[in-house]
Amino acid sequence: APVAKRIREEATDTWNDRAAVERFVGRGGRFVRGSGRLDGPGRVRVGDQVFESRYGVVLGTGTRPSVPPVEGLAGTPYWTNHQAIEVEELPESLLVLGGGSIGLELSQVFARFGVRVTIVEALDRVLAVEEPESSAVAASALRADGVEIHTGVRVERVDHDGERFTLHARGGAEFTAERLLVVTGRRAHLDELGLDSVGVDADQRYLSVDDRMRVTDGIWAVGDVAGEGAFTHIAMYQAAIVIADVLDRARHTRPGADPSGTASVVGGAMGAASALGASGSSGTAGTVPRADYRALPRVTFTDPEIGAVGLTEEQARSRGINVQVGFSKLSSSTRGWIHQVGDEGFIKLIADADQGVLIGATSAGPAGGEVLSGLVVAVHAAVPLSQLRHMIYAYPTFHRAIEAALHDLH
């Protein structure tokens, strides 16, 4: 109850967006509450009102939990991640359908509060989008917390008798618990956006955008709906690009616009976008930055944390890259020896041997997400391996294991 109270009152304000709205309006924006949809080029309809843009429309409609079409599931009181973190009274047992990041994070939370948790995953390992070593570390940590994990299980039917859920799997296996949490991904609902009114196909999983986040002329998309990953930091990164592009568009369409196109689009109004617009991910000062996902960081906030950036080994090999792999265990480092209990983790590096740079990395451990930051810089800036090998790594730290992994590259 104390944790639920803090989440409710301090983190989510009981799911009230008042504070965010006040910030927006306080900066000069106009806020309209309602269900909006495109109504032709440059227009958005909200009920009986139609708003017309001067420069364009930004779509940031996010995604909703994707619930699998399993027989019997619809109509039952299953939880999504939203309901799971509203809980004030713990169930005796919990089934978790889905072994991705959210499923693992919430499973560990409930298990550590004393709930009997069972994860059911259709793929052959949990955290399947990451390195196999990450899956093994995460699974080991959750099992140590008492979580049962069943992989390679296809659920065919769900029963709910008013008190308990039962999952019926292919092959006859059954799993029963008081509550069911469904975390099998998210999807965009493009059919609700009126895309046909601007000539954009709504029959796709996510909106297709270019490297300035443009869907089509005068329409931008940011966040989950753009399909690059359901991470807050991606939405913020993309928003900075859109801000720069919109201001650039405005500058060129206003009377007296700079015809050379060299004036900087960076200004105080850009806020967080200022630094990005100033240098760009590819270009010179004054240009609109282009989206670049080579060094996309992602962290699964289990204990230990699983941080990753760029390509996995499998992804790199599937692209035909001449791959080198380096690996070091945290327990073999001095900091790991000091830490002892809970020092499970590793550093794994994926290098392009022909280019001599890192193209992916994983940092799993007690501070996996924090150690990841240096690896993100190395991938993003394409720092030569020779320079990384000759850096000075502070002793004794977890990030010193990066040096050992670099020497292990082969």
Q: What are the residues whose beta carbons fall under 8 Å from the beta carbon of 206, sequence distance 6 or more?
A: 188, 190, 224, 225, 226, 227
* DSSP H helices in 52-131: 81-84, 101-112
Average pLDDT score over the chain: 90
Q: What is the pLDDT of residues 55-89, one digit of tens each?
A: 999 999 999 888 899 999 999 999 999 899 888 89
What kind and span of H or E run contains 233?
helix 232-253
Which of the four pLDDT bands, split at 50, 70 and 90, describes residue 267?
A: very low
- Residue 190 · residue 62 · CB < 8 Å: no
Q: What is the pLDDT of residues 375-397, one digit of tens each?
A: 999 999 999 999 999 999 999 99
Q: Which residue has the tokens 């995604």?
A: 63
The Cα 31–Cα 22 span in angstroms is 9
The Cα 241–Cα 274 span in angstroms is 10
Q: Given this model, what pLDDT does residue 343 score?
A: 78
Is pLDDT at 274 greater than 80 in this prediction?
no
Is pLDDT at 406 greater than 90 in this prediction?
yes
Is pLDDT at 301 greater than 80 in this prediction?
yes
Give rounded-to-5 percent helix, strand, coil for the chain.
35, 20, 45
Please state the φ and ψ torsions of residue 58, each to the nearest 5 degrees.
-110, 125
Which of the four pLDDT bands, split at 50, 70 and 90, describes residue 276?
A: very low
Q: What is the pLDDT of residues 195-235, one digit of tens each?
A: 999 999 998 889 999 999 999 999 999 999 999 988 999 99
Q: Given this model, what pLDDT does residue 95 score?
A: 98
Average pLDDT over residues 254-281: 42
- CA torsion sign for 121, 122, 127, 133 is positive
Taking the CB of residue 279, how many other CB atoms lie within 10 A of it? 14
Q: What are the residues whose beta carbons fall under 8 Å from the beta carbon of 25, sequence distance 6 or more?
A: 31
Is pLDDT at 308 greater than 70 in this prediction?
yes
Which of the four pLDDT bands, split at 50, 70 and 90, describes residue 269?
A: very low
Is pLDDT at 282 greater than 50 in this prediction?
no
Q: Given this model, what pLDDT does residue 262 score?
A: 38
Which of the four pLDDT bands, split at 50, 70 and 90, describes residue 256?
A: low
Which of the four pLDDT bands, split at 50, 70 and 90, describes residue 21?
A: very high
Which of the four pLDDT bands, split at 50, 70 and 90, describes residue 281?
A: very low
Token reading at 126:
């949990």
Q: What is the pLDDT of residues 338-363, one digit of tens each?
A: 888 877 899 999 999 999 999 999 99
Q: What percent of the chain has pLDDT over 70?
A: 92
Which of the four pLDDT bands, split at 50, 70 and 90, describes residue 24?
A: very high
Burial class (CB in 10 A: 0-12, 13-18, 19+), 297: buried
Between the alpha carbon of residue 201 and those of residues 197, 219, 381, the distances in Å are: 10, 13, 36
Is pLDDT at 299 greater than 80 in this prediction?
yes
Q: What is the pLDDT of residues 104-157, one digit of tens each?
A: 999 999 999 999 999 999 999 999 999 999 999 999 999 999 999 999 999 999
Q: What are the residues whose beta carbons fall under 8 Å from the beta carbon of 317, sequence distance 6 or more?
A: 323
Q: What are the residues whose beta carbons fall under 8 Å from the beta carbon of 5, sequence distance 6 or more?
A: 88
Q: Given this model, what pLDDT does residue 307 score?
A: 97
* DSSP H helices in 11-131: 18-26, 81-84, 101-112
User: Which has the higher per-residue pLDDT, 91 or 2?
Assistant: 91
Closest CA to 346 of 363, 332, 322, 361: 363
Closest CA to 76 of 185, 188, 178: 178
C-alpha count within 13 angstroms, C-beta hemisphere, residue 381? 11
The Cα 305–Cα 367 span in angstroms is 6
C-alpha count within 13 angstroms, C-beta hemisphere, residue 27? 9
pTM over 0.85: yes
Q: Given this model, what pLDDT does residue 257 score?
A: 52
